A = this chain, B = another copy of it.
């Protein structure tokens, strides 16, 4: 699995493996239907590990949730890199949007719950805001490649439309619309807004 051998031998490897097992257990519990109130104790039991081990590995419940989110986000990061290699703005924007739609969809329930928990968890809230800011920076840089001066408003709107809430809302809850359809809708909106912003007017205008 891992490309380089652990420098400290089996012991470190075993520790890393329990860490992964705990993360996997947390992910499973959070994606389950009865995920209301996921306690550290429940995660520990699911990972077949003592509660203390969870604290040894992640410090706190917040730390565990933060690590879980970053684990999920790791894959998405690579996809975004590819968007920068696009030949033109439209393609780059589309790839960028699709990368995030794919990410949001990959663990939709887990991400939704993590974002909900962030409302009551200062640390987790800070991390998610940081990650959202990273998306904004990436978007700003991406637009700067093709546009002279990307206006803050344009960046803001596209930033929000490529966020989790927008995707989650468009993909539906109880009656889930297909991933492809939601992605298409978001992409279309992003494209329209970008066109409107670059073609003369600075802000998307309301009809009439």
Which residues of A come within 8 Å of B, CB atoms? Answer: 36-37, 112-113, 115-122, 125, 129, 153, 156-157, 160-161, 163, 165-166, 168-170, 172-175, 177, 181, 184-185, 187-189, 191-192, 195, 203-207
Contacts and interface: CB of A to CB of B under 8 A. Distances in A.
B160 A165 contact: no
B206 A184 contact: yes
A169 B169 CA distance: 11
Given A165-B165, A188-B205, A207-B188, A121 B36 contact: yes
The prevalent SS among residues of A at the interface is helix
Q: Which 4 A-B pairs have the closest CB atoms?
A: A116-B119, A165-B165, A160-B169, A188-B206
A204 B183 CA distance: 12
Given A116-B120, A117-B120, A189-B189, A157 B170 contact: yes
Contacts of A188: 204-207
20 contacts: A36-B119, A36-B122, A36-B125, A116-B116, A116-B117, A117-B119, A117-B120, A129-B174, A153-B177, A157-B185, A160-B169, A160-B170, A160-B172, A163-B169, A165-B168, A165-B169, A185-B204, A188-B205, A188-B206, A195-B207
